[in-house]
Structure 1
Amino acid sequence: MASENFIGLSVVSGFFIGLIFAFIGFNEPENIVFFTLVVTAIFYLIVISGISLFNWFISFDAKRFNKEQLEDNLEYYVSQFRKKENELVYVLDYIKRVELEQEDQEK
């Protein structure tokens, strides 16, 4: 899950959890709004801290790849595509010849 999605999910969860506990614990609307905002902010700070620590301690090193091997693989695939294309051209030519022969026989 992407960091932004995790933050969004946690903030929305914190909002609804805060709202539920605010309705249970308080009767005045100002207290309900204040408690909900506080709980949402606490969830946000916890998640931001967790993601920051995760990104700080987990290193995402760039993977290096072998350029020559990649080029060789691509050349192989290009040659295979050419071979298939030539086979397809041969088959299409054969079909054209057969159709022409059928037309000549019908005349």
Structure 2
Amino acid sequence: MSVNDDLASIQRCMDELLRSVGRLEKQVGGGGLEIRRVRTDAQHLRESVALLRQAAATSVVAAVPELVTIPDTPYDTTLWTDSDDEGLGARDRRAP
């Protein structure tokens, strides 16, 4: 399954959970602390799934790397005239 399929399945389960909580709330009564906590937790889960869907949608777009073409021609050696050879020190000096 793809990420979108999994997220759609989770969304369907969350919708069913909220419907079940609504039915339970009508049977038990909506004034109790327990049923309010269950309803609130279910709503938070639904919001979290929505955030996860948004994050997955943006990460799929961002996951495609931009290709960079590297030329086969040699680099211009004047680019490195003022730099030291990394780890070897300067060209005109001796190591201690």
Q: Same-fold call, TM > 0.5?
A: no
Max radius of gyration: which structure? 1
Could you say which structure has the higher helix fraction? Answer: 1
